[in-house]
Amino acid sequence: MPELKTAGLFFITAIAEIVGCYLPYLWLREGKTIWLLVPGALSLAAFAWLLSLHPTAAGRVYAAYGGVYIFTAILWLWAVDGIRPTVWDIVGSSVAILGMAIIMFAPRNV
């Protein structure tokens, strides 16, 4: 099940990136403590490290990761922001996931 492992790793990577950006957002926009920058920076460092774990070309990983990021951000919108995704949010994130699958799992001769 390498496909499931790849998708799971992308999902964990997306959570790390979103948390790493969300915590400074809370400080800047919502007046929360500046100490949120510490776990935010650690989360962004984890994000970079997690991206490096994929055994394929960096450009391909970055391109495919974008699809999972979009999907995860829509889940975040619902779970954390409390905003139910629209049909268009779901369609768009589904297209992004399809793009990730094509990029990562298409047969290659290389």
Q: What is the enclosing helix (H) or strand (E) of 35?
A: none
> Where are the chain's structural domains?
2-105
Measure the CA–CA gap between 100 and 110, rounded to whole angstroms: 18
Q: Which two tokens stand for residue 6?
A: 């790849």
Mean pLDDT of the 2-18 span: 90
Q: Taking the model in full, what pTM does it have?
A: 0.87
Confidence of residue 110 (pLDDT cuts 50, 70, 90): low
Angle 105-66-46 (CA atoms, 0-180°, nearest 5)? 100
Q: Do residues 100 and 64 lie in contact, with contact meaning Cβ atoms separated by under 8 Å? A: yes
- State the average pLDDT for the chain: 93
